[in-house]
Amino acid sequence: MIGVLCLGVCLAAAVPVHAVPQDRRSDHEAARAGRMEGRLLPLRAIEARVVPQMERQGARYLGFDFDSGTGIYTLKFLRNGNVIWIDVDGRTGQVLSRSGG
């Protein structure tokens, strides 16, 4: 029993903490391919349009998600303990929706 427990702990320690789930990895690869092919704006360009405006409203930028199926970036912010999600079209940079907060 102790040997099984030790094996489980050793195996858990072997998995990198920073490992990215497969579906997230493929979304990031799709975003990169879209940028390289000129179909998507670079994330930095989208952030440059949205982040300063949200920071002026007192929100702190947390990061983003990308949906390769729709080409939509979801930028996440925190303000007064509430999470705000901003959906941005990766092709045009247009803000599509805002929810939360």
pLDDT per residue over 11-44, tens digit each? 444 444 344 455 556 777 877 787 788 789 999 9
In a domain, 85, yes or no: yes
- CATH number of the domain that 62 lies in? 3.10.450
User: What is the domain range of residue 56?
Assistant: 21-100
Residue with tokens 């941005």: 88
In a domain, 4, yes or no: no
Angle at 17 between CA 13 and CA 19, to 5 degrees: 115
Report the pLDDT value the prediction gives residue 34, as an integer from 0 to 100. Answer: 79
* pLDDT tens by residue, 32-83: 787 788 789 999 999 999 999 999 999 999 999 999 889 999 999 999 999 9
Q: What is the DSSP string of 12-76?
A: HHHS-TTPPPHHHHHHHHHHHHHHHTTSS--HHHHHHHHHHHHHHTT-EEEEEEEETTTTEEEEE
How confident is the model over 2-10, as a mean pLDDT?
Answer: 43
In a domain, 75, yes or no: yes
Query: Quick check: 4 pLDDT over 50?
Result: no
In a domain, 58, yes or no: yes
At 9, is the secondary structure helix, strand, or coil?
A: helix
In a domain, 10, yes or no: no
In a domain, 7, yes or no: no
In a domain, 68, yes or no: yes
In a domain, 12, yes or no: no
Q: How many domains does the chain have?
A: 1
